[in-house]
Structure 1
Amino acid sequence: MTASPASPAETDWLHLDRQICFSLHAASRAFNGVYRVILKDLGLTYPQYLVMLVLWEQGDLPVKKLGEHLRLDSGTLSPLVKRLEGAGLVRRERSAQDERSVRVMLTEEGDALRERALQVPRRIMRATGFDLGEIADLRERLDQLTTALDAAALAEAEREAG
């Protein structure tokens, strides 16, 4: 028995411009381009900015917790933290209770950078052309998408395992 050929409508779904993943990828690259210009004034890359956002919000954190907030593994996060430490914005300190655990904390300079960073979200909002409500709605939808995709990935992994 041979499979019936896909209808033209079904094959349209294989076009690049029909892929939600590509739309998100393109938007992410566009965001990175805008952030690159805006963050140049702060001396930060976009990933470094994300690290600073978490530390400004949460305070001192073990590297593991910082990675959980950012959805990054330690192999990706450690070089970011080292560069921020080299710039004098953070310092790392090994835990006296657990030698394996390293805490990341803001320096005075890193804490002071927060004031200069306050203009970043306003500039990004202007760049999007969206108002606050539209941004909140989009962020909520993206959070829902992330939750659904995390659940789907877990379900697929469990199905494959067993």
Structure 2
Amino acid sequence: DNIYAANPVKQPVFSCAMKQEWVLFLLFAVLFALFVGLAIYLGITEGPYMSLLMVVELLIFAFVLCVFPKRVEVWHDAVKIVLVCGYKHTIPTSTIVYVELAGLCEFDFALKCATSILNRVRIVRSSGMNVIVTPKDPEGFIAAVRQVVSPSLVAV
């Protein structure tokens, strides 16, 4: 069995939703309501140009929501971070050096794809930026990545 052969069923080795804090989404909902209210108020009191400016800010706000990570997938050739908008950020397994649980205060340069302060996992890469993700099952995610990156080192 060659583990590096193409995956015939086209399914990930591991797939897990991202852990998401309800406080973060509550904050976004409150800010969104504040922006909508401010756009209506400025549209009435200051004219349509201020309202148009607030609508542009609402579009930027919606864009930020679209780039939130939704799910993380481990494939034989890559780790993919699926965003809310459907885009998949791909990290080739050939660039992954190791994965580990990340502390709360990480001061390295890393792409933060985290929506929670818990379950943080750091993916250290040989090229490109390191990545921090927050899968709901961090131990399963770490085991799956280690199995794909270096299968001979994983204890069964």
Q: Could you state the TM-score of these two structures normalised by the residue count of structure 1?
A: 0.31
Query: Normalization by structure 2: what TM-score?
Result: 0.31
Greater RCO (CA < 8 Å, at least 6 residues apart):
2
